[in-house]
């Protein structure tokens, strides 16, 4: 579905992603993990077409990004790590505003279902800046996915969220995956990743160093520790898995 | 456009008092401070004491007519009191309408009918002398004309006086023109009106610049990225925000300008001239500001830099320092003689 061929990214002569090649299958749920600064968020932005690679090519359904970027953007739902919302607005106003911006008609049934699943109707008339971190994350998620996307790109959607809110978010994402959507999901929490992902993507040293199923992960884990164990942060991630 | 307008209206609605206050500040300042400034302007008029020793119809007429003189503030006093006031400097000069004034004027004699008492420091009392002198001459000429014919004196006097209304006969009709643009007649505003307009212009400009912080925040907090993904492009976002930037700045400025023109009771010609000129200068200023902001990559430091530019424009124009022609404030008041 999405193929990255020898893709790299450099910001002001600093290489943040070394050249790598990988493929994301349609309908897969890929859990992305790795130490800070390993290039996970940059990778997600490249896939979302929010950034351009310094070298290499990306393709979507077999066609280069440059030719299908408009269609691709209608198929993608991106949830950034930042709470990218107008915080002075109420949840209701927030959803209304972003819905108006959408080029294609928002699937009202899908949106209402998401609002119910995330229990946003409980805080509908409250201002976003008066909500707790968990609620804000949920609103951020709702706005990012309100277009009923085919591909969901999620950058730490549960960071700083309490357990109850986390369960709501995970249940909703699980449902999206079960309905056939493709999920790319960055997290530092193995519990979430194992619950949600059928595939792991491990980033280290500015490139993906592992991509495979949970079973493959279990098989290669000790090899990875031997090979990359010198990096303390990475070692901890591998040991905690 | 309307989507972004409703977004910002919703945001402003959360702090309605502050938002309204910021937007309507020039309007409110004008409504509240206009009477104060108007009184101050009146108080800066040249203080002149006038003494009526004759207590006649003629002296009463002179008092009445000089009362409305521009830039002069006549106060009626007793002779001793007036001389004291001039000595102390509270009055720049005193004019005593001497006893027998009416009788002398009826005889066509204008000598020794008014005494002029002035301090050594007096400068502007000559305007008062001109004003009183003109009224005395008018009465004297009317009386002389009435005496010259054998008709009823009062009737002849009134007939002669009618030639002074609405303006004196043979009065020169001067037309003021700008040295820069001789084809354009110079409409004029009071100096403090021009200063107020310059302040409103500065305020509107700075308010617009502060609105630009919204764009910086949208980019920094990831909302612009989200908009790019949703709308495929950011052209509509920037176009809408440019319009809103202009509406915020120019709207606030025009409210202040409108209130000022309404209270100052300025002629239609002058209002039109100022409105057209102000709108053109404001549009150019905002466009240049926008280009500078966008051209330098919408950096946070650009906001204080633009505010400093706006302040420099105001201060350097007002104080006529340096090359004033490059600043928007000088375009507003400098050329075409609008000031």
- Which pLDDT tens digit goes with each residue over B128-144? 888 888 888 888 888 88
Whether B171 is covered by a domain: the verdict is no
Whether B175 is covered by a domain: the verdict is no
Domain boundaries, chain A: 2-240
Which of A50, A70, A102 comes nearest B225 by C-beta?
A50
Paired tokens of B119: 């301090």
With CA atoms as reference, the chain B residue closest to A45 would be: B225
* Same domain (yes/no): B12, B114: no
* Same domain (yes/no): B9, B55: no
* Alpha helix positions (H), chain B: 2-14, 16-43, 57-67, 79-88, 101-106, 125-148, 153-162, 191-211, 213-220, 223-231, 235-264, 268-295, 302-318, 328-333
CA distances from B97 to B73, B75, B81, B102, B139 (A): 17, 13, 14, 10, 13
* Same domain (yes/no): B185, B218: yes
CA distance A73 to chain B (A): 6
Residues of B whose CB is below 8 A from A88: 10-11, 14
* Same domain (yes/no): B187, B333: yes
Whether B240 is covered by a domain: the verdict is yes
Q: Return the higher-pLDDT residue of A73 and B182.
A: A73
Average pLDDT for B267-279: 84
Distance CA B194, CA B2 (A): 35
Domain boundary residue, one of B162, B195, B223: B162
* Same domain (yes/no): B293, B325: yes
Decide: A104 and B232 in contact? Cβ < 8 Å.
no
Q: Do B229 and A76 touch (CB under 8 A)?
A: yes
CATH number for region A2-240: 3.40.50.300
Decide: B234 and B228 in contact? Cβ < 8 Å.
yes
CA triple A200-A202-A208, angle to 5 deg: 120
Task: Inform me whether the pLDDT recorded for A145 exceeds 90.
Answer: yes
Number of folded domains in chain B?
2
Q: What number of C-beta contacts closer than 8 Å exist between A and B?
A: 57
Whether B168 is covered by a domain: the verdict is no
Q: Do B230 and A89 touch (CB under 8 A)?
A: no
With CA atoms as reference, the chain B residue closest to A146 would be: B230
Q: Where are the beta strands (DSSP E) in chain A?
A: 2-11, 14-24, 29-33, 55-60, 63-64, 76-79, 151-155, 182-186, 199-204, 207-212
Residues of B whose CB is below 8 A from A85: 223
Task: Inform me whether the pLDDT recorded for B333 exceeds 70.
Answer: yes
* Same domain (yes/no): B96, B122: yes
Q: Tell me, what's the ipTM?
A: 0.86
A28: helix, coil or strand? coil
**Residue B168 DSSP label:** -
Decide: B86 and B96 in contact? Cβ < 8 Å.
no
* Same domain (yes/no): B187, B331: yes
> For A90-99, how does the pLDDT look when each residue is reduced to its tens digit (9 = 90+)?
999 999 999 9
* Same domain (yes/no): B132, B29: no
Contacting B with CB below 8 Å, chain A residues are 48-50, 70, 73, 76, 78, 80-86, 88-89, 93, 97-98, 100-103, 127, 143-144, 147
Picking from B6, B12, B223, B229 by the largest number of A CB atoms within 10 A of its own CB, the best residue to mutate is B229
Q: What is the CATH number of the domain that holds B129?
A: 3.40.190.10
* Same domain (yes/no): B196, B56: no
Distance CA B323, CA A6 (A): 57
Whether B176 is covered by a domain: the verdict is no
* Same domain (yes/no): B235, B254: yes
* Same domain (yes/no): B31, B52: no
> For B183-217, how does the pLDDT look when each residue is reduced to its tens digit (9 = 90+)?
655 556 777 888 889 999 999 999 999 999 999 99
Whether B172 is covered by a domain: the verdict is no
* Same domain (yes/no): B124, B80: yes
Task: Inform me whether the pLDDT recorded for A225 exceeds 60.
Answer: yes
Paired tokens of B297: 């990559």
With CA atoms as reference, the chain A residue closest to B6 would be: A97
Model pLDDT, residue B105? 87
Domain boundary residue, one of B97, B128, B162: B162
CA triple B324-B328-B334, angle to 5 deg: 55
Contacting A with CB below 8 Å, chain B residues are 3, 6-7, 10-11, 14, 221-223, 225-232
Range of the domain at B119: 46-162
Which of B222, B225, B227 comes nearest A101 by C-beta?
B227
With CA atoms as reference, the chain B residue closest to A68 would be: B232
Q: Which residues pair with A200 in a beta bridge?
A: A31, A212
């Amino acid at each position: 579905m999405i193929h990255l061929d020898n893709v790299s990214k450099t910001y002001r002569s600093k290489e943040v992603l070394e050249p790598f090649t990988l493929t994301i299958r349609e309908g897969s749920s890929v859990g992305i993990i790795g130490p800070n600064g390993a290039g996970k968020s940059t990778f997600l932005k490249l896939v979302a077409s929010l950034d351009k690679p310094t070298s290499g090519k990306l393709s979507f359904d077999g066609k280069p990004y440059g030719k299908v970027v408009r269609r691709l953007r209608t198929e993608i739902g991106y949830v950034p790590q930042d709470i990218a919302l107008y915080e002075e607005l109420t949840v209701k106003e927030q959803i209304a505003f972003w819905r108006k911006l959408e080029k294609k008609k928002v699937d009202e049934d899908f949106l209402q279902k998401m609002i119910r699943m995330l229990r946003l109707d409980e805080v509908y008339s409250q201002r976003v800046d008066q909500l707790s971190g968990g609620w804000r994350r949920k609103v951020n998620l709702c706005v990012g996915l309100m277009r009923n996307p085919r591909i969901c790109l999620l950058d730490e959607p549960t960071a700083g969220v309490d357990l109850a809110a986390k369960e709501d978010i995970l249940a909703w994402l699980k449902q999206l995956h079960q309905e056939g959507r493709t999920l790319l999901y960055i997290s530092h929490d193995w519990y979430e990743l194992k619950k949600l992902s059928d595939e792991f993507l491990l980033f280290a040293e500015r490139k993906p160093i592992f991509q495979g199923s949970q079973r493959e992960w279990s098989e290669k884990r000790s090899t990875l520790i031997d090979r990359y164990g010198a990096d303390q942060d990475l070692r901890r991630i591998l040991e905690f898995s | 456009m309307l989507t972004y307008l409703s977004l910002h209206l919703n945001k402003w609605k959360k702090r309605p008092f502050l938002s309204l206050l910021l937007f309507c500040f020039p309007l409110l300042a004008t409504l509240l401070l206009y009477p104060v400034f108007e009184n101050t302007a009146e108080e800066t008029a040249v203080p002149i004491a006038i003494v009526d020793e004759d207590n006649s119809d003629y002296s009463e007429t002179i008092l009445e007519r000089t009362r409305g003189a521009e830039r002069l503030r006549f106060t009626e006093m007793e002779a001793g009191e007036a001389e004291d006031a001039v000595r102390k400097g509270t009055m720049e000069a005193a004019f005593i309408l001497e006893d027998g004034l009416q009788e002398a004027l009826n005889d066509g004699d204008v000598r020794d009918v008014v005494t002029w008492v002035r301090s050594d420091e007096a400068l502007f009392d000559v305007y008062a002398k001109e004003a009183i002198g003109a009224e005395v001459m008018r009465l004297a000429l009317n009386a002389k004309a009435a005496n010259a014919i054998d008709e009823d004196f009062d009737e002849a006097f009134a007939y002669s006086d009618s030639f002074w209304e609405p303006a004196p006969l043979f009065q020169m009709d001067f037309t003021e023109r700008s040295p820069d643009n001789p084809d354009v007649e110079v409409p004029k505003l009071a100096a403090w009106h021009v200063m107020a307009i310059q302040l409103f212009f500065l305020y509107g400009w700075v308010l617009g610049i502060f609105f630009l912080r919204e764009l910086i925040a949208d980019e920094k907090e990831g909302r612009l990225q989200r908009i790019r993904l949703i709308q495929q492009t950011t052209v509509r976002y920037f176009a809408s925000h440019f319009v809103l930037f202009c509406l915020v700045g120019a709207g606030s400025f025009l409210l202040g300008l409108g209130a000022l023109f309404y209270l100052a009771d300025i002629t239609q010609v002058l209002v039109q001239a100022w409105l057209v000129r102000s709108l053109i200068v404001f549009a150019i200023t905002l466009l240049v500001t926008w280009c500078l902001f966008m051209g330098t990559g919408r950096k946070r430091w650009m906001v204080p830099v633009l505010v400093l530019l706006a302040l420099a424009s105001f201060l350097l124009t007002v104080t006529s320092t340096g090359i004033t022609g490059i600043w928007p404030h000088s375009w507003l008041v400098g050329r075409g003689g609008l000031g």
